[in-house]
Amino acid sequence: MPYLTGTAAGGSRTAVRAGLGVPGCAHPLLAPAEWNALTRPGTPLHWTVLDVADGPGVRPDPRCLEAAGRLRNAGIRVLGRLDLLRGTRARGELITDAHRYLEWYQVDGFLLDRCPASRAGLPETRRTITSLRALRADAHLVLGHGTPPYPGYAECAEQLVTFDGPWSDYRFSQTAEWTADHPPERFCHFVHGVPRGHLDEALRVARWQGAATIWFTDRTDHGGRRAPWEGLPGYWDDIVSLVGTGVSE
């Protein structure tokens, strides 16, 4: 299968130790069991996104405060979701939302959702990131491109989301050759509509494309763009077990 557009140097991509990056469950009032499951000891989580109301909301939410606090007390990194709208959103609005996330929920960083992927969008993205670093120098930043971006973005953040979409596209997808110059810990894949019978194959795609942070679910986007991420996969225990013990060769 065409998992790569080039050959990874040194074969390092066959040794990916994956972990889960949660793009954002539904509000804790609507999905309390899901939020509880994320704090279960031994769950291989790299981070969880907190999306209160398409961002931080206009005032602190007690249930989200509790959910974020439990995750952080369990040693799990919590990221606030900032929607860049492919570079069309004003930087001032983004920084205001970042302030609220930091002040109200003490987040550890941000998922910059719908981040531009083009070379033209890089300068403004850099300026936004500089402003975020001024708020919290050690913020963990994940750029949610959803596709392999212009290589310069790799210099800006800790991680890049280089795939965000359905299994029907992912199973035959290719990643950009330049990503082989970076370790798997730099890349994330979000895939929805993955049948349980293809979960092992999906994990192999992630391994060969060099993505160490993943989120695979059998949920679909029929209810909207964010719908696949609002609940846990139907095979939650299976994927926790598979990822937690490493991907078999």
DSSP letters, 38-97, are HTSTT--EEEEEE-SSSSS-SS--HHHHHHHHHHHHTT--EEEEEE-GGGTS-HHHHHHH
CA distance 24 to 213: 14
The per-residue pLDDT for 248 is 40
Q: Which amino acid is at 30?
A: L
**Three-state secondary structure call for residue 207:** helix
CA-CA-CA-CA torsion sign (132, 135, 137, 140): negative
The per-residue pLDDT for 246 is 53
Instruction: Divide the 249 residues of the chain into consecutive groups of 10 and give the mean pLDDT of each group.
Output: 40 64 95 95 96 96 97 96 96 97 98 98 98 98 98 98 98 95 97 97 96 97 90 96 67
Q: Which two tokens stand for residue 93?
A: 């609005």
The per-residue pLDDT for 245 is 67
CA distance 39 to 159: 23
Q: pTM value?
A: 0.92
Q: Which residue is associated with the tokens 């209810």?
A: 223
Q: Kindly give, in sequence order, each residue whose CB lies less than 8 Å from that of residue 59, ignoring residues fewer than 6 positions away.
A: none
Strand partners, 189: 163, 214
CA distance 20 to 92: 31
Q: Which of 11, 46, 19, 38 is nearest to 142 (CA)?
A: 46
The per-residue pLDDT for 16 is 53
